[in-house]
Structure 1
Amino acid sequence: MNKNEQVNISIPKRAFDKLYLNNGGKNKLLARIDNNRIILQAKETKTEAQTQSLRWFMVPGLLAGFVALVNFFIQKTDYVKLSGANSISQITIYLAALFGFITFLIALLLLGRKQLVITSRLAKFRSITTLSIAFTLLDFSLTSYFFYFVDLAFHGVILDRYTSSALIAGFVGIASYLMMNAAQSIDFSTITTILIFTLVGGIFFSMINNKHEDWWQINFSYLGSNLSNNWWQFNLTLIFSAMIMLTLIDYIFSLIFQIPQFFNTQMKVLRLLLAATSIVFGLVGAFQNNRSIIWLHELHWWSANALVILVLILIIGLKWLLPNATREFLLTAYGFAGLLALSEILFQTVHYLSLTAFEIISFSLSFGLLILLMQNLNTLYIENAEIFTVEIK
């Protein structure tokens, strides 16, 4: 075959219709070869890419710079410190969070709608709101840590109001652009990553900010009890993590239910059990472990036990609920169940584990199993969705 000769390929129209083409209706695709694969994607001109990048960078940045400058005039601040009250870092952190939230929300609605395939309006509204808040918190945390290290490197720097406003505009513009890219990259891995970051980061933050250094000698639940000075951070972490988990469940099952062979009773029951597990997990945080209020403590205790029961039901019913599960996954799930039983024996019977160690081990195993189950469901979708024969002419 001549090297300059053209080869045509054809794909089913039902698959082509799902492509998000934003190139003036020309239906042109960009093809590239990557690791012995041909990847097709919507063709975007260089001008369109540059326009989109500038729009999402400059508009929030210029608005943030204008707000900062007006603030400095109102506060009659001629020279601005790098850190502290009404400083470059403080204003940037707050404005980056504000404009980042707005940018992410708009970008998700306009650009990421093809990734967020959830069909239910209520579920989509909840998912969009949850993801926007989650990424805003991530944006807030990363910006705060960034300026913490900048202040260490340039401690004591003072700049005039115009230079300070320009720097704030630049930092906010970069943060908003990154948030726009995040909204376009919503998929299973992204939602899972933000879930792990929120849960682990929130719990770790509650640990290091607890004024009682020996809290771990009592139990893990102490972080969310009324005896802890920052109980609300721990409980809010559990509630918000449960909301992200619900978003992940809605996302993956919206994909799976597009495949007729998986739209069955077993999958519906599995989704119901996973949703119930997420809700009960959130209730553990919603009902504070407050022993001075009996009914509140009782609800917390019942929620925690219900969470364990639901996880055990999931493990026991996996072979029926997920008949396509691999032998390795089932053995792993049963192994997790065995470790949960072993930790129970080491705590209740042998008294080798402390209550804190038992709670941390049980929580880590249960959460790890849920993530593995969701990963297995995502793999199930990838292996069975939109597989078709491509004809080469």
Structure 2
Amino acid sequence: MIINTVMILLAENITPTMLVDVLVITIFGGVMISMLSNSNLQWWKHNISFLGTNKAVDSWQFNLTFIFAALLMMALVDYLFVSIKPLKRPLLQTQILRFLLTILAINAMCVGLISNNRQIPWMHLWHDICAWSMALDVIILIGGIRWLWPGISKNFLRISDTLGILIVFASVLFKGVHYFSLTAYEIFASALAFSWIMMLFQYLLKQINRGTHEFLVEVKQD
């Protein structure tokens, strides 16, 4: 009875804006705590996924962060795209956008569920597959947002292009000239990608709020 009461109260009071805020706090808070609390001070010489392996201290914090963030993202995506229906957006593009965001959340959950333990080959393989799938998903979203959301604001597109160029530049620094270490590249590129995803969620929320508060009034003269 107590659990049902709490869940009902949460359902009545949780808003999509609150979900976005909790998602931001979860990602940045969870990863920062994992970095700061890990007693292995040399973790950064490996990669950021090292924080979730069996060699790290309290690896559950890092893994749980991804799992919980993925669940929040799934809930947020479902809420947003149910609310988008009254806006009568193009069906195909809207469904593809929803699919890509859902796949992104699923891959994030898999990153948390499957640790990057190199001693267990299949875990290392699938962790890398899921991590790189997340990166590919974000690249497709940034590159295709013009088609996925027709009429998107020019300001959003300018910011998207800037973030996309920065991600490509970071990739060149990592792969091309070997200036970035793997850890630095992961942190920098992930921060840019996550910022863009949050920006997209905020944009969709504004479109939903604007669309649901607009009314067509027809005045007839007697």
- Structure-1 separation of matches of 2:53 and 2:160: 31
The one of 109, 115, 121 aligned to 1:288:
115
Structure 2 gaps, min length 5:
none
Would you tell me which structure has more strand in proportion to its own residues? 1
Listed one character per residue, the Cα deviations across residues 286-341 of structure 1 (whole Å, up to 9, x for unaligned) are: 11100000011000011111111111111111111111211111121111111111
Quick one: percent identity of the two aligned structures? 36
1:312 paired to 2:139? yes
Q: Which residue of structure 2 lines up, in the alignment, with residue 18 of structure 1?
A: none
Helix, strand or coil: the match of 2:180? coil
1:255 paired to 2:89? no
User: In the comparison of the two structures, how many residue pairs are matched?
Assistant: 217
How far has the Cα of 1:103 moved from its partner? 5.0
Q: Which residue of structure 1 lines up, in the alignment, with residue 97 of structure 2?
A: 270
- Structure-1 separation of matches of 2:97 and 2:186: 25
TM-score (norm 1): 0.53
1:362 paired to 2:189? yes
Listed one character per residue, the Cα deviations across residues 256-303 of structure 1 (whole Å, up to 9, x for unaligned) are: 1122x2261111111111111111111111111000000110000111
1:333 paired to 2:160? yes
- Structure-1 separation of matches of 2:39 and 2:5: 37
- Asked whether the 8 Å contact 1:256–1:263 carries over to 2, the reply is no
The aligned runs of 1:1-393 (5 Å cut-off) are 103-109=5-11, 112=12, 184=13, 186-259=14-87, 261-262=88-89, 264-388=91-215
Listed one character per residue, the Cα deviations across residues 116-156 of structure 1 (whole Å, up to 9, x for unaligned) are: xxxxxxxxxxxxxxxxxxxxxxxxxxxxxxxxxxxxxxxxx
User: Which stretch has the larger CA shift, 196-205 or 237-246?
Assistant: 196-205
Structure 1 gaps, min length 5:
1-98, 113-183
Greater C-alpha radius of gyration:
1
The code of the aligned residue for 1:249 comes to V
The code of the aligned residue for 2:148 comes to L
Would you tell me which structure has more helix in proportion to its own residues? 2
- Structure-1 separation of matches of 2:123 and 2:117: 6
Listed one character per residue, the Cα deviations across residues 29-68 of structure 1 (whole Å, up to 9, x for unaligned) are: xxxxxxxxxxxxxxxxxxxxxxxxxxxxxxxxxxxxxxxx
- Structure-2 separation of matches of 1:328 and 1:317: 16
Helix, strand or coil: the match of 1:250? helix
- Structure-2 separation of matches of 1:387 and 1:381: 10
RMSD: 1.7
- Structure-2 separation of matches of 1:390 and 1:197: 41
- Asked whether the 8 Å contact 1:198–1:237 carries over to 2, the reply is yes
TM-score (norm 2): 0.92
Helix, strand or coil: the match of 1:353? coil
The code of the aligned residue for 2:59 comes to W
- Structure-1 separation of matches of 2:203 and 2:99: 17
Listed one character per residue, the Cα deviations across residues 187-236 of structure 1 (whole Å, up to 9, x for unaligned) are: 22111111111111111221222111221222211101221021121111
